[in-house]
Amino acid sequence: MTKELRVYGASDDLIEFAGAHREEYNAESGVFDVLGEKSDGVRVHVECTGAGTWSVGVSQIDEDFPLPDWNIRVRQGTTAEAYYSAVLVMDVPDNVRVLERAVSL
């Protein structure tokens, strides 16, 4: 079973996680590990671009940790989220965990 997790920037200093994990970080950039139930996961990168928009992306956690077979996509934000942010959308396992690696103001 999977749930949708959304990650995006809001205002000029908030990183938002919504859906399967809900949390807000007061930061202009951050790196987070999103971990599944089978030792799988991705590293999520979020950054305010300084041009009034946000950038989001994923990478492997390390070279021995391949990307999982999750449905991962990026779309434009909506008014309900933040229309000026790219939104990272992932179908993640039910018991997903998010670990903060680094955030900065």
Give CA–CA dist 2/71, Å, rounded: 10
CA-wise closest residue to 88 among 48, 44, 49? 44
**What pLDDT does residue 33 have?**
96
Chunked in runs of 10, what are the mean pLDDT values of the chain (105 residues)? Answer: 91 92 95 90 94 92 91 90 88 93 85
Token pair in block for residue 17: 């996680």
Q: Tell me how far apart the alpha carbons of residues 8 and 56 are, in angstroms, rounded to a whole number.
A: 7
Residue 65 lies in domain: 2-104
Rounded to an integer, what distance in angstroms lies between the CA atom of residue 37 and that of residue 104?
A: 28
Model pTM?
0.92
Q: Is 56 exposed, middle or buried (0-12, 13-18, 19+ CB in 10 A)?
A: buried
Q: Number of folded domains in the chain?
A: 1
